[in-house]
Amino acid sequence: MDLVRQFIKEGLTRMEIHEFLEHELSRAGYVEVQLLKTPIGNRIVIYAERPSLVIGRRGSRIRELAQTLEKKFGIENPQIDVIQIPNPELNAKVMAYRIARAIARGIRFRRAAFVALRQIMSAGALGAEIVISGKLTSERARFEKFRDGIVFKSGRPREILVDEATVQVLLKLGVYGVKVKIAKPVERIPGRIEILPMSTEQGGGSGAQA
């Protein structure tokens, strides 16, 4: 039971740290955090679009974060690493956060979705699907779906190619949900048989004519 309690406690701490960083590092394009225990302390790995805004001038911001994590959350000797998200337009969580933050700034949800969809497809994605749910234009909760290209729903292609993420944003009207699916670019789709067009060849002979 002690192990179970410890596991639950660590999970709650991670969730609280995630919510804290989500608020503090929104301008840096914060995406997620990993907590790793090492022999010399606790390693905190922060994934963000703009690491320079997490680090701050001469490391001032990252030192502040380390102090807060130690005092507020009891993380002993936190060693913070910041990793930039590669190809952010092909990362479902990054794009879901972009949409959520745009809506929180007052941008209309349809515009935010179409801008994100255009960015995803311009990055070379096979396809993308965005679902925004909540009290969008009335008192009743509903959802709207935006889609472009190919988005696999099942099978091997979905397992290998589709990145999926859901985030929430709290507004005056209530909680909005933003779900993003991205089918990543690939030369050949797994499990799909490619039928090549028929071709004919003619060879020339070198024999003497009668």
**Per-residue pLDDT, 188:** 65
The domains of the chain, with CATH numbers, are 2-84 (3.30.300.20), 88-183 (3.30.1140.32)
Q: Is the pLDDT of residue 183 over 70?
A: yes
Judge if pTM exceeds 0.85: no
- Which helix (H) or strand (E) is 179 found in, with range? strand 174-183
Q: Give the residue, 20 or 205, on which the prediction is more confident.
A: 20
Q: Is the pLDDT of residue 159 over 60?
A: yes
Is the CB of residue 99 less than 8 Å from the CB of residue 178?
A: yes
Is the CB of residue 188 less than 8 Å from the CB of residue 194?
A: yes
Rounded Cα gap, residues 176 and 84, in angstroms: 27
Rounded Cα gap, residues 150 and 187, in angstroms: 14
Residue-wise pLDDT tens digits, 36-91 = 988 888 899 999 999 999 999 999 999 999 999 999 998 888 999 999 998 999 99
Q: What is the DSSP string of 42-77?
A: EEEEEEES-HHHHH-GGGHHHHHHHHHHHHHH--SS
